[in-house]
Structure 1
Amino acid sequence: MLSTLRIRHIGVIDDAVLEFGPGFTALTGETGAGKTMIVTGLTMLLGARLDRGRTGEAATVAGTLRLDGHDALRAALEELGADEDDGDLLVVRRVTRDGRSRAHIGGVPVPIGTLAAHVGSAVTVHGQADQLRLRESDAQRTALDAYAADEISPALARHRDVFARRAALAARARELEDLLAQRDRRGALLRDALERLETVDPQPGEDDAVREDIEQLSHAAEVREDLARAALALVGDDDTPSVSSLLALAADAVSKAQRVDSALQEASERLTTLGDEISDIAAALSRRAEDIDTGPGALDEAHARLHELTALVRDLGPTLPGPDGPATTVTELLETSRSAARDLDRFDGAEQEHTAVLAELETVEQELEDAASALTDTRVGAADRLAAAVRDELVQLEMPGADIRVEISPGPHREHGRDSVAILLAPHPGAQHRPVADAASGGELSRVMLALEVALASSRRDRTAAPVFVFDEIDAGIGGRAALAVGQRLAALARHAQVIVVTHLPQVAAHAGTHLRIVKTTDGTATSSDVELLDSQGRVRELARMLAGDDASARALAHADELLNQAQALPAGDAEEDR
């Protein structure tokens, strides 16, 4: 419920705080006192724009919502990170002088759209030009589903489940069709590419290795000659001094000296070891020199292999692209070929899966048809009951000749079914049934809307998360018995919801549990308004003013007192029992 509302600098309201009751709250006041500014403030909390002509200053609205029972809203706010104070949520909307808007929910800055989505789930504003339940087919379908939730919800849940399965199968069928189309376009190319890879049989990094071989083979004669000179320098021959011969001389000299000086044993051993190692190195260099092929055949073979590998990468790179584009090396090409093999496996299994998916889709289509038909049948039955309930309410609202029809007709098949719901009104016997927004006058439209809300509210099972209804001038264009009836039905609605009504009729205000008066004051240069919570005597005086324009007339006060006592003595439930 909406606990409090503070409005600053909107129209004639400079700074006012309103405290609402849990049931029926009436807002009254003289013409021009600023009653509609209260509704303007409420609609600001729902994300509506503020007409800058209404104020020259920054405008602020702060509302406190009680979250008891609003589990879905509370969960959404927790995800948003909004703070609540013992179940109370503070919502603030501010519009600056230059028209910029700021909104906070529970201390968290939010876009205006988020404000409308969250607060709008708990508060509904009804005005003469804003009868959404009576104008939009989707809203009327939602209202019908809520009215008969016990019967419609299971059928609707089943339909949504089957609809989701059908959508998933249809999406998979489209994916497989795309895959089959790819198979027809790319399958042969991929197979040819993989067969060529298998024939050439490249190894990872082979292109780089062949380039290295070509570099070596291009300088083979020079390398072989260098290795031979190195080996000769190490071990020499009988006519050429070498490292080995000189080392042998040194080793022989140290060995002789060791006979006298035993401390030279280690040096002698190291020279012997060094001589063996030099011999090994020279042998290795000679073997490598002998292994180097200096003939033209090896170089030609290396060039031919590199050409084959380069052509393979050039030709197959675009056919087997990787995430960064065509492969540029043999290693990259081998990597991308693995995904091509996987694609071929997918292509091979796509046709069989596609056949199975189409068969399952055909079965689910029939299941969806059955679910949609069952949902339609359930809604048709509920539509008749809702129409009867609204007709009964219209009798209480002094529209006994009006007839309501809730029509179910085929519409686009969506997750909520294939039903288009329209609430039609024949305002008097013999009149044609037409959409209520077109068939009813302003006053009639307000009463039809109220009748619908009362009928819907009476079917609610959850009394905790009661919605908040704000009615702006719902009693416009009516009076007398009809005004009394509207007051009674608003009180009936307040049994199932919080009802806030801006009214100029005493017959309506008398039925409220909480009565707020908008008081206008002027100092001759400026006009401002404030809000007063009326006690019993204050209510009698306000009703007398509304009845006779004079809150001091004894006759008017007596009439107002009688009206208030009669209204308060008639509980909302009595009106239902009197039908």
Structure 2
Amino acid sequence: MLSTLRIRQIGVIDDALLEFGPGFTALTGETGAGKTMIVTGLSMLLGERLDRGRTRGSSTVDGTLSLTGHDELAAALDELGAEEEDGEVLVVRRVTRDGRSRAQIGGVPVPIGTLARLVGTAVTVHGQSDQQRLRDPDAQREALDRFAAAEIGPLLERHRALWRERSALAARHAELETLLAERDRRGTVLREALERLEQVDPQPGEDRALRQEIDRLGSAEELRGAASQAALALVGDDDGPSAGPLLDIAGEALGRAARTDATLAPLVERMEAARLELSDLAGELSRYAEDIDASPGRVDEANERLHELTLLVRDLGGLLPGPEGPAEDITTLLENSRAAAVDLDRFDGAEQEREVAATRLAALGAELDEAAEALTAARTAAARELSEAVQEELRHLEMPDAALRVDVTEHGPRSHGRDAVAILLAPHPGAEHLPVARAASGGELSRVMLALEVALSSSRSDRSAAPVFVFDEIDAGIGGRAALAVGQRLARLARHAQVIVVTHLPQVAAHASTHLQIVKSSSEGATRSTVETLERTGRIEELARMLAGDAASDRALAHAEELLDEARDAPGGGER
């Protein structure tokens, strides 16, 4: 429910705080006091635009919305990261005179469309937009589905689940068709390429290693000579000087000195290590010189293998492309070939999967037909019940001669079935049934909307997530017994929902459990308004003003008190 509403700088309202009760709240006040500004503020929380003429500097509306029972709304706000306190969330809308608009939910800035979508799940404003809502076939179908949610809900969910499955499967079937067409085009080429790759059996990096080997073999004599010369310089022979014998001499001299001075012992160890490292290095150089193969046969063999690999990259690089294009070496070609092998596996399984998908699609078509027929039957039965329920409400609302009918007709298949729903009204005997938005006058339209909401709310089984209904001009064009009837039906609706009504009729206001008065005052040529919560005495005076235009008239006060007491004792109650 809506706990509080604060409006600042909108029209004649400087700063007003409204505290709503859980049932039926009536908003009254003199003409020009700013009742319309209250509805304007509520509408702003639903994303509506603010007329620039009503904007004063920066116009702001804050609303505190209880999340109790609104699980989907609470989950959406949690995903946004919105803050809540004691199960309530603060909704803020600010509009500047230059037309800039900002919105926040729970401290999180949101687009106006998101504000409208989220708050709109909990609050409905009835007023000038009613005709558009009643022209929307989807809104009328959804209303019928809500009315018989227990019967229609499971059938609707099954149909939607089947629809989602068929849509996903149809998309997958189309993918498989494309894949099989690609198989016919590329499958043979890929297999031949992979078979050739398997025959050549290249290894990762093999072409690079071969180029390095060929370069080494081309300089074999030079490399052998350099290695041999280096080995001789290290260990030498009897014909020339070398580092090895000199290290031996140095080691022996240092060893003799160490026997006299023990501090030289670590240097002796390092000298010995250097001598051994020199010997090992000379041995490795000698072996390198002996192992170099300078035979023409090995050079030819390496060149031939490199040529084979080069042709493989050239021929298959374009057939087995990777994310970055054709391969330019063996390593990349092998990586691309693995992706091609995966494609072939997909090709091989695609035909069988397509057959399975086609079989399931045919079965889904039959299941959807069955689910749609069950939905149509349930909606047709519910349409009769809703017609009777709204018809009964219209009788209570002083429209006994009006005949309302809910028609269910065939429509093209959609996720919610094959039904189109239309609410039709014949306002008097002999009149043709026409769409209610066309057939009803302004006052009748308001009462039809009220009758529909009462019927829908009375059918709700979940009382925890009671919606919030705001009615503006619900009593337009009516009075007398019709006004009393509207007040009684609003009180009945308030059993299952929070109802906020802007009214100028005392017969309606008397049925409210919370009465807010918009009070205007004039100062220095400017009119400003505030909001007061009325207790019993204040309510009687306000009802007297609404009845006779004079809150001090004894006769009007007596009539007002009588009206308030009768409303309290009526079914549904009024003042508590």
Please report the TM-score for the alignment, with normalisation by the length of structure 2. 0.89
| Alpha-carbon separation, structure 1, partners of 2:239 and 2:139 | 109
What's the secondary structure of 1:326's corresponding residue? coil
For residue 363 of structure 1, what is the aligned residue in structure 2? 363
- The answer as to 2:482 corresponding to 1:479 is no
- The answer as to 2:333 corresponding to 1:333 is yes
* Count of residue pairs the alignment pairs up: 563
| Residue type at the aligned position of 1:76 | A
| Cα displacement (A) at 1:62 | 1.4
- The answer as to 2:443 corresponding to 1:443 is yes
Unaligned runs of 5+ in 1: 575-579
Unaligned runs of 5+ in 2: 262-267
Could you say if the C-alpha distance between residues 243 and 426 of structure 1 is closer, same or farther in structure 2, counting changes exceeding 3 Å? farther
What's the secondary structure of 1:56's corresponding residue? strand
| Alpha-carbon separation, structure 1, partners of 2:212 and 2:154 | 74
8 Å Cα contact 1:244-1:278 kept in structure 2 = no
Could you say if the C-alpha distance between residues 541 and 307 of structure 1 is closer, same or farther in structure 2, counting changes exceeding 3 Å? same
8 Å Cα contact 2:517-2:532 kept in structure 1 = yes
8 Å Cα contact 1:247-1:275 kept in structure 2 = no
| Residue type at the aligned position of 2:567 | A
For residue 19 of structure 2, what is the aligned residue in structure 1? 19
For residue 147 of structure 1, what is the aligned residue in structure 2? 147
8 Å Cα contact 2:232-2:242 kept in structure 1 = no
What's the secondary structure of 1:400's corresponding residue? coil
| Cα displacement (A) at 1:146 | 1.3
For residue 417 of structure 2, what is the aligned residue in structure 1? 417
| Cα displacement (A) at 1:271 | 12
| Alpha-carbon separation, structure 2, partners of 1:54 and 1:274 | 96
| Alpha-carbon separation, structure 1, partners of 2:442 and 2:207 | 86
1:292 paired residue among 274, 294, 298: 294
8 Å Cα contact 2:231-2:285 kept in structure 1 = yes
| Residue type at the aligned position of 2:294 | I
For residue 239 of structure 2, what is the aligned residue in structure 1? 241
Write out per-residue CA displacement over residues 35-87 of structure 1, whole angstroms, 9 at most, x where no aligned residue: 00000111111122222211222111112223332233223333333333323
For residue 380 of structure 2, what is the aligned residue in structure 1? 380
What's the secondary structure of 1:4's corresponding residue? strand
| Cα displacement (A) at 1:120 | 1.5
| Alpha-carbon separation, structure 2, partners of 1:516 and 1:385 | 36
8 Å Cα contact 2:194-2:337 kept in structure 1 = yes
Percent identity between the two aligned chains: 66
Could you say if the C-alpha distance between residues 435 and 233 of structure 1 is closer, same or farther in structure 2, counting changes exceeding 3 Å? same
| Residue type at the aligned position of 2:70 | H
| Alpha-carbon separation, structure 2, partners of 1:48 and 1:75 | 24
| Residue type at the aligned position of 2:493 | L
Write out per-residue CA displacement over residues 210-237 of structure 1, whole angstroms, 9 at most, x where no aligned residue: 1112212332343345456567778989
Give the alignment of 1:50-69 within 5 angstroms: 50-69=50-69
Give the alignment of 1:166-565 within 5 angstroms: 166-227=166-227, 241-242=239-240, 247=245, 280=283, 284-289=287-292, 291-293=293-295, 295=296, 298-565=298-565
Deviates more, 1:509-518 or 1:375-384: 509-518
| Alpha-carbon separation, structure 2, partners of 1:278 and 1:4 | 91
Please report the TM-score for the alignment, with normalisation by the length of structure 1. 0.89
| Alpha-carbon separation, structure 2, partners of 1:365 and 1:223 | 79
| Alpha-carbon separation, structure 1, partners of 2:561 and 2:500 | 22
| Alpha-carbon separation, structure 2, partners of 1:141 and 1:100 | 36
| Residue type at the aligned position of 1:288 | D
| Alpha-carbon separation, structure 2, partners of 1:471 and 1:218 | 97
| Alpha-carbon separation, structure 1, partners of 2:47 and 2:272 | 98
What's the secondary structure of 2:130's corresponding residue? coil
| Residue type at the aligned position of 1:339 | A
| Alpha-carbon separation, structure 2, partners of 1:330 and 1:269 | 48
For residue 572 of structure 1, what is the aligned residue in structure 2? 572
| Alpha-carbon separation, structure 1, partners of 2:234 and 2:558 | 136
Could you say if the C-alpha distance between residues 243 and 359 of structure 1 is closer, same or farther in structure 2, counting changes exceeding 3 Å? farther
Could you say if the C-alpha distance between residues 131 and 457 of structure 1 is closer, same or farther in structure 2, counting changes exceeding 3 Å? farther
8 Å Cα contact 1:131-1:449 kept in structure 2 = no
| Alpha-carbon separation, structure 1, partners of 2:570 and 2:73 | 35
| Alpha-carbon separation, structure 1, partners of 2:365 and 2:329 | 50
| Alpha-carbon separation, structure 2, partners of 1:51 and 1:207 | 76
| Cα displacement (A) at 1:445 | 0.9
**RMSD over equivalenced CA pairs, Å:** 3.2
Give the alignment of 1:116-127 within 5 angstroms: 116-127=116-127
8 Å Cα contact 1:133-1:143 kept in structure 2 = no
8 Å Cα contact 1:411-1:418 kept in structure 2 = yes
| Cα displacement (A) at 1:279 | 8.2
| Alpha-carbon separation, structure 1, partners of 2:244 and 2:57 | 107
- The answer as to 2:113 corresponding to 1:110 is no
8 Å Cα contact 2:47-2:116 kept in structure 1 = yes
What's the secondary structure of 2:167's corresponding residue? helix
| Alpha-carbon separation, structure 2, partners of 1:119 and 1:131 | 21
Write out per-residue CA displacement over residues 470-527 of structure 1, whole angstroms, 9 at most, x where no aligned residue: 0011111222222222111111111111111111122212222222121111124211
8 Å Cα contact 1:132-1:139 kept in structure 2 = no
8 Å Cα contact 1:235-1:242 kept in structure 2 = no
| Residue type at the aligned position of 1:108 | V
What's the secondary structure of 1:369's corresponding residue? helix
8 Å Cα contact 1:446-1:475 kept in structure 2 = yes
| Alpha-carbon separation, structure 1, partners of 2:402 and 2:207 | 90
What's the secondary structure of 1:449's corresponding residue? helix
8 Å Cα contact 1:231-1:285 kept in structure 2 = no
Deviates more, 1:439-448 or 1:309-318: 309-318
| Alpha-carbon separation, structure 2, partners of 1:282 and 1:444 | 109
| Cα displacement (A) at 1:124 | 0.6
